[in-house]
Amino acid sequence: MTEIKLDTLKDLIQDQESPCVSIYLSTKAVHNGEFKKLEIEFKNRLQEVEEKLKEKWDYKQREVDEFLKPAFSLAADSSFWQQQKEGLAVFIAPDRFEYFKLAVDTYDKSYVSYNFNLKQLIAELHDNQKYYLLAMSPKHNQLYQATRDNIEEVEVENLPLNIKEFLNLDDEAAEKHQSVNTAGGSAVFHGQGGAPDDDNEDLMHYLKEIDRIINLELKDEDSYLVIAADDSVFALYKNINNYDKLVEENLSGNAKQMNKKVLREKGWEIVGPHLYDYLREVKDKYLELKSGDKCSAELEDIVEAAHYSKIDTLLLNKKAEKDGVFVEAENEIKVMGNNDDYDLYNFAAMQTIKNGGTVYSLEKEEMPDGEDIAAIYRY
């Protein structure tokens, strides 16, 4: 299954062969075992598309059947509907059929236009940001890749399984390396019969090797790393860590005794505020510039600015819609009342992305000042 990246959006934007069909479906019902309900809802959206193709695009029934054949096949695949996440996005065009299972919930909607409608897909790009979680202790290490709604184990070559393996100890010797306690503000590796300094030195070598391997694994990443470990182990690890985006707060406790669901939920509580720092910063910048001419909340002005590559950052209410056409020769929006009209909010988003700007597709309550659209200009 394809991860939603910026290149995914750009690829869909470049598809100029129309008609372009976009279908969004909330699939949360799968959590209650209501698979049949999802099939029915999807068929309802296909029926809407069928009517639009006939009424506005002059498609005959034979052409509709051929165009939507892959989608109807998907609708009939009962196993497909049993393996959903929170939302589903389906895109259909001549010689193109593609779908994405989304970790972000969507609202049911269908579009038929000259371009794909990407507003809800854009939300997945930012709302489903990944991070890494490293469960770490003398007895067990495991790296996970996680999002708000998902967590998966990552196999890391050469990552020590535990300190016994790393130090090549027999069972009796390994038993001596059981816990870490904090004494006078510093962590002391607690053994039985060995010198504490030697035990602590063993632990430091072990943690440094973990740090080296994790940095090799994540060297091309720009994602946060959360450590699930005993507080004292984390105190030591934080001092020798070389990964730039290590979160300062650890998930405290014995991670091996936590299942994946607990790790994901507790990990998200820690990393979530860091992942959404960008949104607070963008909103603050918009409000700071609001009284000047470097931003706008007027749809017509923003559509024109997006067309001329003027927008640096765009925030939009993903449920807001207004049909029309931007007429370049007259620099104004007109409503044609036919299939030439498109969703102007989606147009502004696509043009901004195409011209190198950043778009955030948000819920209404997340928008600054309750606006439906807000833009920060480059100049």
Q: What are phi and psi of 147, to 5 degrees?
A: -130, -170
Q: For residue range 276-319, what is the model confidence (pLDDT) as tens digits?
A: 888 889 999 999 999 899 999 999 999 999 999 999 999 999 99
Alpha-carbon torsion angle 348, 354, 356, 362, nearest 10:
40
How many whole angstroms separate alpha carbon 205 and alpha carbon 166? 9
Exposed/middle/buried for residue 141 (C-beta within 10 Å: 0-12, 13-18, 19+): buried
**At 320, is the secondary structure helix, strand, or coil?**
coil
Euclidean distance between CA atoms 60 and 50, whole angstroms: 10
Strand 151-154 relative to strand 179-183, pairing: unpaired
How far, in Å, are 11, 62, 114, 143, 345 from residue 251 at the CA level? Answer: 38, 58, 48, 14, 41
Six-digit token string for 306: 């997006």
Residue 326's H or E segment, with its range, is strand 323-327
Place of tokens 């498109």: 342
Q: What is the pLDDT of residue 177?
A: 57
Q: Which residues of the chain have pLDDT under 70?
A: 1-2, 170-199
Q: How far apart are CA 50 and CA 54, in angstroms?
A: 6
H or E element: which one contains 379? none
The H-assigned helical ranges of 176-250 are: 196-217, 231-240
Distances (CA, A) of 325 to 119, 125, 184, 237: 17, 27, 70, 57
Amino acid at 334: K
Q: How far is CA 328 from CA 68, 233, 302, in A?
A: 33, 62, 13
DSSP state of 91: E
What pairs with residue 100 in β-bridges?
Answer: 89
Question: Which domains, and CATH codes, for the chain?
Answer: 1-128 (3.30.960), 131-275 (3.30.420), 276-379 (3.30.1330.30)
